[in-house]
Amino acid sequence: MRQYNQIKGRHPDTVLLFRLGDFYETFGDDAVATAKACGITLTKRNNGTAGEIPLAGFPHHQLDTYLPRIVRAGHRVAVCEQLEDPKQAKGIVKRDVVEVVTPGVVLYDKLLDHKSHTYVAAITGPTKNDPNCGLAVADISTGTFTAGDIPMDKLAAMIESLQPAEIIVDKDQRGWWEPLLERLPFTPARTRLESWIFEQEFATNILLRHFQTASLKGFGADSLTRGAIAAGVVLHYVSETQKGALSQITGLSILSSDTTMVLDAATRRNLEIHSSMSGDGTAGALISIVDRSVTPMGGRLLRWWLQSPLIDIKRIQKRHEAVRGFVRDQHTLTEVRAISAGIGDLERLMTKVVTNRATSRDLVGLRSGLQQLPKVKETCTASLFDAVRDLGEKLNAHQSTVDLLQRSLRDEPSLQIGSGQIFRDGYDAALDDATNALLHGKEWIAAYQERQRTESGISTLKVAYTSVFGYYIEISNTHKARVPEHYDRKQTLANAERYTTVELKEFEQKLLSAESTVTSLESRLLDELRQHISSDCAAIQKTATLIATIDALAGFADVASAYGYVEPVMTEETALEIVDARHPVIERLLPHGTPYTSNTVLMDTEKEQLHILTGPNMSGKSSYLRQVGLIVFLAHVGSFVPATSATIPLTDRIFTRVGAQDNIMAGESTFLVEMQESANILNNATKRSIILLDEVGRGTATFDGISIAWAIAEYLHEVIGAKTIFATHYHELTSLADQFHRVHNLQVEVREVGDEIVFTHRVVRGHSDHSFGIHVARMAGLPPAVLATARAVLVQLESGQHGPTELGRTATAERHRLEEAGQISLFEVRDDGLRDRVRLLDINNMTPLQAMQALVELKDSIDE
Among 176-180, 190-194, 437-441, whose mean pLDDT is lowest? Answer: 437-441
Q: Give me the pLDDT at residue 648, please.
A: 98
Identical fold for domains 113-258 and 429-519, yes or no, is no
The sign one gets for the Cα dihedral 357, 361, 367, 371 is negative
Q: Which amino acid, one-letter code, is at 605?
A: T
Q: Residue 828 pLDDT > 60, yes or no?
A: no
d(CA 295, CA 258): 30
CA distances from 742 to 509, 604, 606, 697, 820 (A): 94, 9, 7, 22, 54
Band of pLDDT at residue 19, cut at 50, 70 and 90: very high
Domain 2-101 has CATH 3.40.50.1110: no
d(CA 534, CA 249): 12
Among 452-461, 590-599, 648-657, whose mean pLDDT is lowest? Answer: 590-599
Band of pLDDT at residue 624, cut at 50, 70 and 90: very high
Q: What is the 3-state secondary structure (H, E, C) of 721-787?
A: CCEEEEECCCHHHHHHHHHCCCEEEEEEEEEEECCEEEEEEEEEECCCCCCCHHHHHHHHCCCHHHH
Q: Which position has the higher pLDDT, 607 or 283?
A: 607
Q: What count of Cα atoms within 13 Å lies in the side-chain half-sphere of residue 192?
A: 8
Q: Residue 201 pLDDT > 50, yes or no?
A: yes
Kindly report, residue by residue over 573-583, the tens digit of the pLDDT: 999 999 999 99
Mean per-residue pLDDT over the chain, rounded: 88
Element housing 482 (H / E): none
Q: Residue 664 pLDDT > 80, yes or no?
A: no
Instruction: Tell which CATH classification among 1.10.1420.10, 1.10.8.50, 2.60.120.260, 3.90.650.10 matches the domain 312-398+536-563.
Output: 1.10.1420.10
Q: Which of 59-63, 74-78, 171-175, 404-408 has the highest mean pLDDT?
A: 404-408
Cβ neighbours, 10 Å, residue 647: 16
DSSP 262: -
d(CA 173, CA 151): 18
Q: Give me the pLDDT at residue 758, please.
A: 75
- Three-state DSSP class for 503? helix
- DSSP assignments along 284-305, one per residue: TSTHHHH----SHHHHHHHHHH
CA distances from 342 to 95, 362, 373, 551 (A): 41, 14, 10, 12
Mean pLDDT across 523-548? 96
Q: Residue 98 pLDDT > 50, yes or no?
A: yes
Q: Give me the pLDDT at residue 825, please.
A: 42
d(CA 759, CA 781): 17
CA distances from 12 to 6, 72, 79 (A): 10, 19, 13
Band of pLDDT at residue 442, cut at 50, 70 and 90: confident
**β-bridge partners, 599:** 581
Kindly report, residue by residue over 460-511, the tens digit of the pLDDT: 999 999 878 889 999 999 999 999 999 999 999 999 999 999 999 989 888 8
The CATH code belonging to domain 429-519 is 1.10.1420.10
Q: Give me the pLDDT at residue 799, please.
A: 63
Q: What count of Cα atoms within 13 Å lies in the side-chain half-sphere of residue 652?
A: 12
Name residues whose C-beta falls within 8 Å of residue 858's C-beta, 6 or more positions apart in sequence: 834, 837, 838
**Helices and strands (H and E) in the chain: how many:** 30, 26
Angle at 679 between CA 678 and CA 684, to 5 degrees: 105
For helices 346-354 and 360-370, angle between their N-to-C axes, nearest 10 degrees: 140
Q: What's the predicted TM-score (pTM) here?
A: 0.84
Band of pLDDT at residue 25, cut at 50, 70 and 90: very high
Q: Residue 665 pLDDT > 60, yes or no?
A: no
d(CA 104, CA 145): 13
Band of pLDDT at residue 837, cut at 50, 70 and 90: low
d(CA 235, CA 233): 5
Q: Give me the pLDDT at residue 679, please.
A: 87
Q: Which position has the higher pLDDT, 403 or 754?
A: 403
Element housing 647 (H / E): strand 645-649
First to last CA, the chain: 89
For helices 502-534 and 346-354, angle between their N-to-C axes, nearest 10 degrees: 120
Instruction: Tell which CATH classification among 3.55.40.20, 3.40.50.300, 3.40.1160.10, 3.40.50.9100 matches the domain 569-771.
Output: 3.40.50.300
Domains of the chain, by residue range, sit at 2-101, 113-258, 312-398+536-563, 429-519, 569-771, 781-830, 832-864
Q: Give me the pLDDT at residue 49, please.
A: 55
19, 82 contact by CB (below 8 A): yes
489, 497 contact by CB (below 8 A): yes
Q: Give me the pLDDT at residue 718, please.
A: 93
The sign one gets for the Cα dihedral 800, 803, 807, 813 is negative
Among 501-510, 663-672, 822-831, 852-861, whose mean pLDDT is lowest? Answer: 822-831
Q: Where are the beta strands (DSSP E) in 90-131?
A: 95-101, 120-124
Q: What count of Cα atoms within 13 Å lies in the side-chain half-sphere of residue 68?
A: 10
DSSP 716: I
Q: Give me the pLDDT at residue 245, please.
A: 72
Our CA dihedral for 572, 573, 579, 582, rounded to 10 degrees, sits at: 50
d(CA 310, CA 634): 10
For helices 346-354 and 296-307, angle between their N-to-C axes, nearest 10 degrees: 110
d(CA 402, CA 408): 10
- Percentage, residues of the chain above pLDDT 90: 63
784, 824 contact by CB (below 8 A): yes
Q: Which position has the higher pLDDT, 372 or 256?
A: 372
Angle at 663 between CA 659 and CA 664, to 5 degrees: 125
Q: Residue 783 pLDDT > 50, yes or no?
A: yes
355, 364 contact by CB (below 8 A): no
Name residues whose C-beta falls within 8 Å of residue 144's C-beta, 6 or more positions apart in sequence: 117, 119, 137, 138
Kindly report, residue by residue over 352-370, the tens digit of the pLDDT: 999 999 999 999 999 999 9
d(CA 251, CA 236): 15
d(CA 518, CA 431): 6
Q: Residue 824 pLDDT > 60, yes or no?
A: no
Among 257-261, 374-378, 759-763, 840-844, whose mean pLDDT is lowest? Answer: 840-844
d(CA 559, CA 288): 11
d(CA 763, CA 624): 8
724, 656 contact by CB (below 8 A): no
Q: Residue 662 pLDDT > 70, yes or no?
A: no
- Three-state DSSP class for 258? coil
Kindly report, residue by residue over 133-165, the tens digit of the pLDDT: 999 999 999 999 999 999 998 999 999 999 999
**β-bridge partners, 756:** 753
Among 221-230, 826-835, 836-845, whose mean pLDDT is lowest? Answer: 826-835
Band of pLDDT at residue 291, cut at 50, 70 and 90: very high
CA distances from 298 to 251, 345, 555, 645 (A): 19, 9, 9, 27
Nearest to 452 by CA among 494, 495, 492, 487: 487
The sign one gets for the Cα dihedral 222, 227, 230, 235 is negative
Q: Give me the pLDDT at residue 859, please.
A: 67
681, 657 contact by CB (below 8 A): yes
Domain 113-258 has CATH 3.30.70.270: no
Q: Give me the pLDDT at residue 449, please.
A: 95
Q: Give me the pLDDT at residue 369, please.
A: 97
Kindly report, residue by residue over 218-242, the tens digit of the pLDDT: 887 778 899 999 999 999 999 999 8
- Percentage, residues of the chain above pLDDT 70: 88
